[in-house]
Every structure is written in C-alpha cells, then in structure tokens.
Amino acid sequence: MSTKEIETNAIKMVAAGKGILAADESDGTIKKRFDSINVPSTEENRRSYREMLFTTKGVEDFISGVILFDETLRQSAQDGTPFPTLLAGLGILPGIKVDKGAKPLAGAPGETVTEGLDGLRDRLKEYYGLGARFTKWRGVINIGEGLPTSYAIEANAHALARFAALSQEASLVPIVEPEVLMDGGHSIETCHEASEATFKCVFDELSKQRVLLEGMILKPNMVLSGKDCPSRAGVEEVAEQTLRCLRSAVPEGVPGIAFLSGGQTDEEATAHLNALNATGPHPWELSFSYGRALQAPALKAWVGEASNVPLAQKVLYHRAKCNGSARSGSYSTAMEKEGVAV
Ligand code: 13P
C-alpha cells in the first residue's frame, strides 16, 4: 500500500470546484435508464453513451473523477483510446465500482447486505493495473416499520470496512457509500436518526479494521424527508440537518464527503449542496458524486442518437458547472437560465 498515493488521490478527488461523476451503473441499472428513453442496452450503446459523457469538452473543469463499471473500465473510445487512459489524459481520476450489489439479508425481512468481498483482493490488483485509482462500494439501508435494524446496519458497516481496508492495501482510495434510502413517507427527523446511527457504526468499523481516514472518501445520503412525506423539508433544513448529522458522526481526518443524489431531482441536488457549502468552513470538503443528478438531463437529450451528442454534452457540461459552483456556495437558480432546455 502506498499511503502517500492514496492520501494525494483522495485530496484530488475532492478538489475545489469539482466533484465526481458516478457512471458506474450495473448492467441492470443502465438497462433501466436506457428503457426510459427506449434505447436497447447493447454493449455498443453503453459504450457510445459513456463516450459521449467522457468526451464532453471542458468537463474536467468540474469533474475530478469518474466511477466506472467493470465493463466500461475495459472499453475504449471510438479512436481506440481505453477509457481509463482518456480520462487520465484529462486529469480525471478513473475509479471502479467493486461491489456486486445489495442482496436480501438472511433473517432480516426488507433489509439487504452488499455482496462482493470474495476474491476482491485479486480483482483490486487487476483494476489498479487497468488504471483505476479509486473504488466504490454501496451499502443500502432501508427505512420502514421497525427498520433499519442494528443487525442490518452492522452487517453493512462491516462489509464497507472490509472493502475499504482491502482497497487501501491495493493503493486504491475507497469511496465508502452508506446510503439510507429516501423511499417512504418518513420525516426528515427519521432520516436523521437512521443516518446518524449508520454513519457512526460505519466509522466504528472503519476504525476497528484500521482504515486510514485520510485515504478515503465518504459518500453518504443527504438527510432528507422521505420521497412520499406529505410535508417535505426545504433546502435550508436539509442543509442544517445534514451538517448536524455529519458533525456528530464523521471524524475530521476524512478529507472529503461526496454526496450521492439518491433520487433527488438534478436541481434539488445542486441547491442542497450549495446550501451546505454556503455555511462553511467545514472540517471536510463537501462535494458531489452524483449519478442521476448529473446524467438524467443529458440522457434525455441523447436518446441514443449520434446527432444529439453535442446537445447532450452541452446539457452535461451545464449540470457539472452548476454543481461546480455549488462546491463553493456560489450557485444560484439564475444559473439554470444559461442551460439548454431539453
Ligand atoms: P445517484 O447519484 O444516482 O444516487 O448515484 C450515485 C451512486 O453512485 C449510487 O451508487
């Protein structure tokens, strides 16, 4: 393990004005996204969609790293340049999702644990050789009647820490992603309680398993009302509750926190990040690692047509720029007028 390498790359991942593009949709998830625009999920369509994202001119001004899926890490642009080489050439760190998805947790109805630890050490070695410099693992926590249980939180925290320790051993920066889902009609207070319990348990496990805090990034959910909550909390309250939760659970040694968007609309996710940064300074960089909130409008603009690539790239560039501004609290909804309507 190179401590210096992982510490340096962790800092690069949360560089000022930039964040991470999560483009690591598994085969099942990308199929769902393509179904929404009536595009068949073939290997070539997946490749050309990702090429559209990665070759967006100037995107490197706002994107520090891209999370890839196994298939994408091995694919190339049309001119034959492997994607990891293309990204590295732009000064963007290539990363890789290494978990194998959330599976039902035995004895815990309605809860899951993430799989993928078996053989991980060997896979990490290969990924480093293919150019990856960071990794991601997502643990999923459900809110519901009597949920989450401490059993599910502990099982997921344990797996996240095992993944993180193995990644650092292989000189890869782990993105530790505990996601408390926003599905349900729960209040923001309920989300706060579940998130705080989860993040505390995760850092307890990370400490037990000797994970170097300076060489990792936390990718949490924001503290939000449930999607179906009748009176959803506003932007200021989300920022306030999220900060309160993070302050009580996240040690200062962690260089950065890069939020997932988790089903927020693209503009909501930007406004929330902006409000979080408007109240700084904070002990950690507060950044983004968005999938849907960065890609959704670009996907809609693209709809699988090569002739739409320039428009889709404009749309992606605009979202990346808005989130880049939100990194310093300097985003305003007026910026949205500069965007292209899709
Ligand atoms: P979303 O921003 O769409 O939640 O995706 C982020 C991610 O990487 C989920 O694992």
φ/ψ of residue 114, rounded to 5:
-90, 135
Q: Are 222 and 242 within 8 A, CB to CB? A: yes
Residue type (1 letter), 173: V
CA of 18 to the centre of ligand 1 (A): 17
| Predicted pLDDT of residue 340 | 73
Residue to mutate (ligand 1; options 260, 265, 266, 273; most atoms within 8 A of CB): 260
Q: CA-to-CA distance for 159 and 16, rounded, in angstroms?
A: 30
Q: Which residues line ligand 1 (CB under 6 A)?
A: 22, 24, 138, 177, 260-262, 290-293
Q: From the alpha carbon of 261, which atom of ligand 1 is closest? A: 2
- β-bridge pairing 217-218 and 256-259: parallel
| Predicted pLDDT of residue 206 | 99
| Predicted pLDDT of residue 1 | 79
Active site residue 177: yes
| Predicted pLDDT of residue 154 | 99
The catalytically annotated residue of 177, 179, 205, 285 is: 177
Kindly list the distances between the CA atom of residue 52 and the CA atoms of 56, 152, 165, in Å, as whole numbers in the listed order: 6, 38, 34
Q: CA-to-CA distance for 116 and 97, rounded, in angstroms?
A: 10
Q: CB-based burial of residue 6 (10 Å sphere; 0-12 exposed, 13-18 middle, 19+ buried)?
A: buried
Active site residue 337: no
Paired strand residues for 97 = 136
Q: From the alpha carbon of 294, which atom of ligand 1 is closest? A: 2
Q: CA-to-CA distance for 45 and 49, rounded, in angstroms?
A: 6
Paired strand residues for 66 = 21, 94
| Predicted pLDDT of residue 338 | 86
SS3 state at 286? strand
CA of 36 to the centre of ligand 1 (A): 17
Residue type (1 letter), 143: I
DSSP letter assigned to residue 332: -
Kindly list the distances between the CA atom of residue 186 and the CA atoms of 159, 194, 200, 233, in Å, as whole numbers in the listed order: 27, 11, 21, 11
- β-bridge pairing 112-114 and 102-104: antiparallel
Q: From the alpha carbon of 262, which atom of ligand 1 is closest? A: 4
Q: From the alpha carbon of 138, which atom of ligand 1 is closest? A: 10
3-state secondary structure 248-270: HHCCCCCCEEEECCCCCCHHHHH
The CATH number assigned to the domain with range 3-338 reads 3.20.20.70
φ/ψ of residue 51, rounded to 5:
-65, -40
Q: CA-to-CA distance for 122 and 127, rounded, in angstroms?
A: 9
Structure-token pair, residue 160: 């996240």
Q: Encode the chain (342 residues) as per-residue pLDDT tens digits.
A: 799 999 999 999 999 999 999 999 999 999 999 999 999 999 999 999 999 999 999 999 999 999 999 999 999 999 999 999 999 999 999 999 999 999 999 999 999 999 999 999 999 999 999 999 999 999 999 999 999 999 999 999 999 999 999 999 999 999 999 999 999 999 999 999 999 999 999 999 999 999 999 999 999 999 999 999 999 999 999 999 999 999 999 999 999 999 999 999 999 999 999 999 999 899 999 999 999 999 999 999 999 999 999 999 999 999 999 999 999 999 999 999 988 777
Residue to mutate (ligand 1; options 176, 289, 295, 299; most atoms within 8 A of CB): 289
Q: Are 37 and 304 within 8 A, CB to CB? A: yes
Q: From the alpha carbon of 24, which atom of ligand 1 is closest? A: 8
- Does a cis peptide bond (omega within 30 degrees of 0) precede residue 281? yes
CA of 260 to the centre of ligand 1 (A): 5
Run of H or E including 104: strand 102-104
The catalytically annotated residue of 12, 219, 285, 321 is: 219
CA of 105 to the centre of ligand 1 (A): 21
Q: CA-to-CA distance for 67 and 94, rounded, in angstroms?
A: 6
CA of 61 to the centre of ligand 1 (A): 21
Domain boundaries, the chain: 3-338
CA of 292 to the centre of ligand 1 (A): 6
Q: CA-to-CA distance for 278 and 266, rounded, in angstroms?
A: 18
φ/ψ of residue 314, rounded to 5:
-60, -45
Q: Are 68 and 74 within 8 A, CB to CB? A: no
For ligand 1, atom 4: residue with the closest CA: 262
| Predicted pLDDT of residue 216 | 99
| Predicted pLDDT of residue 339 | 83
